[in-house]
Amino acid sequence: MSDLLSLSAVEARAALDAGDVSAPELTEAYLGAIEETGPLNNYVAVTADKAMDMAKVSQDKISAGEAGLIEGLPVGVKDLFCTAGVASTACSRILDGFTPTYESTVTANLWREGGVMLGKINCDEFAMGSANETSAFGPAVNPWQAGDGVDLVPGGSSGGSASAVAARSALLATGTDTGGSIRQPAAFCGVVGMKPTYGRCSRWGIVAFASSLDQAGPFSRTVADNALMMQAMASHDPKDSTSADTPLPDLMAALDKGVKGMKIGVPSEYVMDGMDSEVVALWETGQAWLRDAGAELVEISLPHTKYALPAYYIIAPAEASSNLARYDGVRYGLRVEADSLDDMYGETRAAGFGDEVQRRIMIGTYVLSAGYYDAYYLKAQKVRRLIRQDFDTAWQQVDAILTPATPTAAFPVGRKVEDPVTNFLNDVFTVPANLAGLPGMAVPAGLNTEGLPLGLQILGRPFDEATLYSIGRVIEDAAGFDAVPARRAGGV
Amino acid sequence: MSVDKSTVARIARLARINVPEDRQDQLANELNGILDWIAELNEVDTDHVEPLASVTGHSLPRRADQVTDGNRVDEVLANVPETAGGFFVVPKVVE
């Protein structure tokens, strides 16, 4: 019954409560969809038995009138989240065979609210990448294609999550975003992706990449579904010392608030060389939609924007080099035997980490090493403050900021890039929000002339996710984005 | 500040990643490409700017100094590549 796959999460919840469909039926439909879309390589492990068991429990809770927020809804989990009894590898060889004995706080929250776990989803190794091509499991593929039929990347690092939601092999999915890893793939795959405020979702039990930047968030096909999942996954968690004890407002209530009287900033520094002209045009269209809905558009300046990426590529590798020191061949994961302890470390890490991860650990080690700390790391942290101050100044003028989500649409898998810096530019519009700790949402807003999705990004004040959902809903309604990718389950 | 082959070897040693000698030149090129680009930051005047390490806006929470967890030897050792008698096993470090 493939039309089960076209229900939104909100519609599916209503259908489950009304008894029009059972939780096991819905889960079975998604397990079938995973099989059907197998060539997209979105899942690194399918937990079919666990999914069916969880769906039966959900059905009992629904029948007893005790349904949670996402009761009975099938969820895909980025392989960066530790899941008890289910292998969790961060899509790296170095975590080969690692099966956590504990559950991440975010996934525990989702299961408590009734989510059904479909399996673990492909991503870039340790979330380092913007195309899902650094995964030890090979690239995930975007269900969208241009006319030439070439395989396109889904973006990254949460590429499999965005692709699976777009391909209808997950109704909802978790992601993490350190420099754009939720918003960029959401834009490439035509789905909604939210990176909440730093501290909104617990980082406990998520494989760490750059701890001062990492945040978990939801993927969905509609803005309302995204608000529903966000409500289920956020919490204050004493096990994460950076977790915020700030109550989450009713996000569902924010959906229909509109933007009348709202001031929305348009940063002049976000017009960049090499930007796709269709992206610029869509951005202007987005501004017109919000103006028509009663918002006031205000030109603002975020003068340090161009320095966000280089600052990020000091801070993130520095934190990563420190976080990834734990992979030592002693406590978990891969071990390559050698005669000395040092060689065992060195051989294990050489064999276990892929090229991109090794490169970033090396950069991070260098910028933290004696004699370079001040010139690189401290300098980057000072620039980070200036970026944060740019936004603080903007919030005195505006309630939210509208930008493009990415400089281009999705590009082909295996695109040859000589200079690693070229790949970093994917994140030019998304990285500032991570450095400043702000919430950011990507919303699909249209197709380019090749028929590929493009997204807009909305940035907000710390802990003001509600406003992003209000604006996101207006953009969604105005865009009327109802295009579907060719390679989706139930599509043929 | 340019990275040469011997610097790559030194960083690799610090990072405990055995990088074969025939990869070191290429890695030096890649790292230099990234570091040259990062040098853009030198354009920014940061003379009177405090570094920003955390965006949480709150200080680290405190808790009572109590043991709240433990006695999980089996769980701790569940994923260990080599274990003996409840211990981690590593190559010999003391002659």
- Does residue B82 sit within a domain? no
Instruction: Name the residue in chain A with its Cα closest to that of B32.
Output: A363
Instruction: Name the residue in chain B with its Cα closest to that of A314.
Output: B38
Q: How many domains would you assign to chain B?
A: 1
User: How do beta strands A172-177 and A192-195 pair?
Assistant: unpaired
ipTM of this complex: 0.96
Encode pLDDT of B8-34 as tens digits: 999 999 999 999 999 999 999 999 999
Instruction: Name the residue in chain A with its Cα closest to that of B95.
Output: A340
B34 touches chain A (CB under 8 A): yes
A310 touches chain B (CB under 8 A): yes
To probe the interface with A, which of B13, B44, B52, B73 has the most A CB atoms within 10 Å?
Answer: B52
Within 8 A of B52 by CB-CB distance, chain A residues are 381-382, 384-385, 388
**Bridge partners (DSSP) listed for residue A296:** A263
Encode pLDDT of A438-466 as tens digits: 999 999 999 999 999 999 999 999 999 99
Residue type, A446: G
To probe the interface with B, which of A83, A212, A341, A366 has the most B CB atoms within 10 Å?
Answer: A366
To probe the interface with B, which of A241, A345, A362, A378 has the most B CB atoms within 10 Å?
Answer: A362
- Does residue B37 sit within a domain? yes
**Is B46 close to A386, i.e. CB distance below 8 A?**
yes
Residue A273 has pLDDT above 90, yes or no: no
Q: Closest Cα of chain A to B9: distance in Å? A: 10
- Does residue B71 sit within a domain? no
For residues A151 and A412, the answer to whether their CB atoms sit within 8 Å is yes
Residue (of A163, A108, A213) closest to A430 by Cα position? A213
CATH class assigned to A2-254+440-455+469-479: alpha beta
User: Alpha-carbon distance A143 to A147, whole Å?
Assistant: 13
Instruction: Write down the pLDDT at residue A370.
Output: 87
pLDDT band at B1 (very low <50, low <70, confident <90, very high): low
H helices within A353-456, ranges in order? Answer: 355-368, 379-394, 420-424, 431-436
| Rg, chain B, Cα only | 22
- Does residue B53 sit within a domain? no
- Determine the average pLDDT of the residues in A315-327: 98
**Is A244 close to B56, i.e. CB distance below 8 A?**
yes
57-76 of B, contacting A, C-beta below 8 A: 57-58, 60-61, 63, 72, 75
- Does residue B50 sit within a domain? no
Residue (of A71, A74, A38) closest to A160 by Cα position? A38
Has this prediction a pTM greater than 0.90? yes
pLDDT band at A134 (very low <50, low <70, confident <90, very high): very high
**Is A349 close to B33, i.e. CB distance below 8 A?**
no
Q: Closest Cα of chain B to A340: distance in Å? A: 6
User: How do beta strands A215-220 and A263-267 pair?
Assistant: unpaired
Instruction: Write down the pLDDT at residue A6.
Output: 95
Instruction: Write down the pLDDT at residue A425.
Output: 81
Residue A157 designated active-site:
yes
- Does residue B55 sit within a domain? no
User: How do beta strands B87-88 and B83-84 pair?
Assistant: antiparallel
Instruction: Write down the pLDDT at residue A25.
Output: 98
- Determine the average pLDDT of the residues in A391-399: 98
Residue A311 has pLDDT above 80, yes or no: yes
- Does residue B14 sit within a domain? yes
pLDDT band at B95 (very low <50, low <70, confident <90, very high): confident
* Angle, in degrees to the nearest 10, between helices A105-112 and A223-233: 110
Residue A58 has pLDDT above 60, yes or no: yes
Encode pLDDT of A242-255 as tens digits: 999 999 999 999 99
**Is B11 close to A366, i.e. CB distance below 8 A?**
yes
H helices within B1-95, ranges in order? Answer: 5-14, 21-38, 73-77
Instruction: Name the residue in chain A with its Cα closest to that of B1.
Output: A372
Instruction: Write down the pLDDT at residue A492.
Output: 53
- Does residue B26 sit within a domain? yes
Domain that holds residue B16: 5-41
Inter-chain Cβ pairs, chain A and chain B, closer than 8 A: 163
User: Alpha-carbon distance A401 to A386, whole Å?
Assistant: 18
Collapsing DSSP to helix, strand or coil, A480 comes out as coil
Q: Looking at the partner chain, which of B14, B40, B51 has a beta carbon nearest the beta carbon of A307?
A: B40
Q: Closest Cα of chain A to B50: distance in Å? A: 6
Residue (of A41, A11, A54) closest to A167 by Cα position? A41
Residue A1 has pLDDT above 60, yes or no: no
Encode pLDDT of A408-439 as tens digits: 999 999 987 777 777 778 899 999 999 999 99
pLDDT band at A380 (very low <50, low <70, confident <90, very high): very high
Residue A60 has pLDDT above 70, yes or no: yes
For residues A350 and A359, the answer to whether their CB atoms sit within 8 Å is no
Residue A63 designated active-site:
no
A235 touches chain B (CB under 8 A): no
Instruction: Write down the pLDDT at residue A2.
Output: 46
Instruction: Write down the pLDDT at residue B55.
Output: 92
Residue A202 designated active-site:
no
**Is A420 close to B30, i.e. CB distance below 8 A?**
yes
